[in-house]
Amino acid sequence: MDLHLQVPPERWGVTRSEFHAFVNDVRQLWTAGRLPDDQGNQPRHGNSRYGPNLYHVNEYFVKPVTLAAGGMSYALMKHPDGLLCQVFISHAWAEGIFELEDLVSRGWPRLQFLHSLYCCLLANPQNLDVSALLNVPPMESPFAKAMQSASHVLVIPNESVGIYTRLWCVYEAYLGTRWKKTCIMPARPHTSTQCGEITRTMLVPVALGLLLGWLWWFILQRAEIRKGFFPLVAITMLTCAIGTALWTALCFAASLFLKACDCSRQKHYRTTRVGHILLLFLCTFSMFPWLRFEPGFRFQFSYFQHYFLPIVLCLFNLLRIAQLNQHQLELKELSRQASHLECSTVADATCSDPSDEQRIRAAILGCEDEIDLTIRVLMRAGAYNDWLRWAYESGVDIRGFGTSDLIVKTGLAASLWALAALHSLGFRSCAVFCGSTDQRWIDVSVGLCVVVALILPVTAFVLERYGPERAVFAVRVWTMFALAALGVPVFVGIEDHLSMVTALRQSAPFHYKCPAPLLRIMVTWFRPAAALLGTSLALLGPAKVLQLQLSLAVVCDFRSPSADGSETDSSLDSGGSPSVGPLNDND
């Protein structure tokens, strides 16, 4: 106990790597059968996804190890001088140790470069009388002091018991609200689930399309057959191009309509994804036959567009499917985790120690409604801070707005901007040949797209420090504008290119001409404008954008959240995008 009196509770932390090493040590003992469920009251003890609960781990691993080292806590055994807590783990001890590790990994704020955590299992001296540490006003408890030094509170739900039926967890939610901590909940889907979705919705259609396309390409080896098949190949590629453009536009319009009508978008999400999967298959199927034809072009840009067209169509549909997959998996995981938090009211929470319950009840007296609101915001957004609470009370749809795998989504957005820059760069050669006066503006278009693609990951990292909603909103806005900046100019130029190729293959008289004025406008003006406008809105943030919408009187009819938070179960599965106002990038 002397060591724990010398080192303040806010320094009873362990590094994240030490936490994972601790769990690995437990896993080895569990695998060897040295952590038996001797009482037979742990139905998931033998499940490798859950493992023994924390009470069992404490009794059969933590206590023996720390007792042999001198009786201090596991944290001070690793760091006798202490380690400052950066992330506070709020949990109920009912979860399995492997379940806890998985949720910590999937909920960890990865863009913050945080490396230490406070977990009471490892922080408290389990061989000593822990009740003596807690026999103080709750604000003076080790939990409170550790949370006060942390920047984030990681809330760990479990499938056994709602953590906010435990009064100490309720008090931690109260402190997180009072001290303006960023509370987050793990909503990143399992890696195995992501891999399954990628295989089913992306790899299978691509592999099947490439295989059948290669067979078609093999048939076209003979010149006489190739000439007769060209109209079919051109029609197939035209279907891919027009289908991708129309499907994206129609789905976006339908999503806005369903949002305005406050309708469920679950079926709409599935239909949107199925459409892009079919288009991906069709694009990969026609890619090899299309590339098999080599008409003579006058402009380098025509060659570029001929080879760029099937590739960009495949990548566009591929990235859209990846975006829809990631968004839907996150909402499903958030819905599942939020269901484990549900409680009618914190007034029903209990504590095993009557004296602790009396002290905590006195500390939160009059704040029960505030804590209930905190929990509802956490369930809805996957995180809690002051802005998310204000937005929720204002009726803004904050579903999933506080938690997202920004590493994946930032990569998708940056890829779209890189493709847009590549298309502008290819268009530049045509402008030089035609003596266009727009050459400088094309250079601006290329430069802006490259800059956005490069600064996007760095900016998302910086914005994350101002709140999770800032980074999620910025990446979402950049993705929307990237889809427009890439898609619109590419699809505008498709008609001219297909007509040129068809005329050349049919030996029809064809007059070479510079690209249509509309295509030049799309590349030299529309694309840079989209880059500047998207970046401006992303940096403004959701709060200022919402205020701007309110001032322009174009805010849609926001649905007010229900008082009991019951919207979580249905709405988080609806496939909708976290949004502020009418902006929507889901479909």
Strand order across the beta sheet in which 383-384 lies: 14-15, 116-118, 87-90, 152-155, 182-184, 383-384
Count of residues in the chain: 587
What is the per-residue pLDDT across 193-217, written as a single tens digit (0 to 9) for each?
Answer: 989 999 999 999 999 999 998 888 7
Please give the Cα distance from 564 to 342 (Å, whole number).
Answer: 10
* pLDDT band at residue 80 under the 50/70/90 scheme: very high
Highest mean pLDDT among 258-262, 291-295, 517-521: 517-521
Residue 570 has pLDDT above 50, yes or no: no
The answer for residues whose C-beta is within 8 angstroms of residue 501's C-beta and 6 or more apart is: 234, 293, 295, 306
Nearest to 84 by CA among 23, 12, 136, 140: 12
Q: What is the pLDDT of residue 507?
A: 45
Please give the Cα distance from 583 to 478 (Å, whole number).
Answer: 12
Helix residue spans in 506-566 (DSSP H): 517-521, 527-552
Instruction: Give me the chain's average pLDDT, please.
Output: 83
- For 119, half-sphere exposure in the C-beta direction (CA atoms, 13 angstrom radius) is 25
Q: What is the pLDDT of residue 582?
A: 36
Six-digit token string for 338: 């939020």
Q: What is the pLDDT of residue 553?
A: 44
Nearest to 445 by CA among 391, 525, 390: 525
Residue type, 518: L
CB 577, CB 476: distance < 8 Å: yes
What is the per-residue pLDDT across 256-283, written as a single tens digit (0 to 9) for each?
Answer: 888 777 666 778 888 999 999 999 999 9
Nearest to 386 by CA among 543, 239, 504: 543
Q: What is the pLDDT of residue 576?
A: 38
Q: What is the pLDDT of residue 559?
A: 44
What is the per-residue pLDDT across 129-141, written as a single tens digit (0 to 9) for each?
Answer: 777 777 788 898 8
Q: In the predicted model, what is the mean pLDDT of residues 443-465? A: 91
Q: Compute the CA torsion angle 30, 33, 34, 40 (nearest 10 deg).
A: 90
Share of the chain above pLDDT 70, in %: 83
Relative to beta strand 182-184, strand 383-384 is: antiparallel
Q: In the predicted model, what is the mean pLDDT of residues 422-431? A: 80
Give the DSSP H/E element, type plus range, for residue 218: helix 204-219
* pLDDT band at residue 226 under the 50/70/90 scheme: low
Q: What is the pLDDT of residue 509?
A: 44
Q: What is the pLDDT of residue 289?
A: 83
Q: What is the pLDDT of residue 245?
A: 86
CB 14, CB 116: distance < 8 Å: yes
Residue type, 481: F
Please give the Cα distance from 146 to 123 (Å, whole number).
Answer: 10
Q: What is the pLDDT of residue 64?
A: 94
Residue 578 has pLDDT above 80, yes or no: no
Six-digit token string for 311: 């590739």
CB 41, CB 15: distance < 8 Å: no
Q: What is the pLDDT of residue 327?
A: 86
Largest CA distance in the chain: 95
Six-digit token string for 515: 């690209």
What is the per-residue pLDDT across 380-392, written as a single tens digit (0 to 9) for each?
Answer: 999 999 989 988 9
Residue in this structure with the two tokens 């500047």, named with its chain if needed = 532
Q: In the predicted model, what is the mean pLDDT of residues 439-458? A: 90
Q: In the predicted model, what is the mean pLDDT of residues 565-571? A: 38
Please give the Cα distance from 515 to 305 (Å, whole number).
Answer: 11
* pLDDT band at residue 503 under the 50/70/90 scheme: low
- Crossing angle of helices 167-178 and 354-363, in 10° steps, is 30
Please give the Cα distance from 41 to 53 (Å, whole number).
Answer: 10
* pLDDT band at residue 586 under the 50/70/90 scheme: very low
The answer for residues whose C-beta is within 8 angstroms of residue 109's C-beta and 6 or more apart is: 87, 152, 154, 182, 184, 464, 468
What is the per-residue pLDDT across 300-329, written as a single tens digit (0 to 9) for each?
Answer: 667 777 788 888 899 999 999 998 998 889
The answer for residues whose C-beta is within 8 angstroms of residue 495's C-beta and 6 or more apart is: none
Please give the Cα distance from 125 to 146 (Å, whole number).
Answer: 15
- Among 408-412, 435-439, 528-532, 583-587, which is the least confidently predicted range? 583-587
Q: In the predicted model, what is the mean pLDDT of residues 151-156? A: 93
- Among 19-33, 248-262, 441-455, 530-544, which is the least confidently predicted range? 248-262
Residue 457 has pLDDT above 80, yes or no: yes
Q: In the predicted model, what is the mean pLDDT of residues 473-477? A: 92
Q: What is the pLDDT of residue 557?
A: 46
What is the per-residue pLDDT across 174-199, written as a single tens digit (0 to 9) for each?
Answer: 999 999 999 999 988 888 898 999 99
CB 356, CB 167: distance < 8 Å: yes
Please report, for the chain, the start and end positions of each structural domain, with discontinuous segments joined by +.
2-161, 191-339+398-571
Q: What is the pLDDT of residue 98?
A: 95
Share of the chain above pLDDT 90, in %: 37
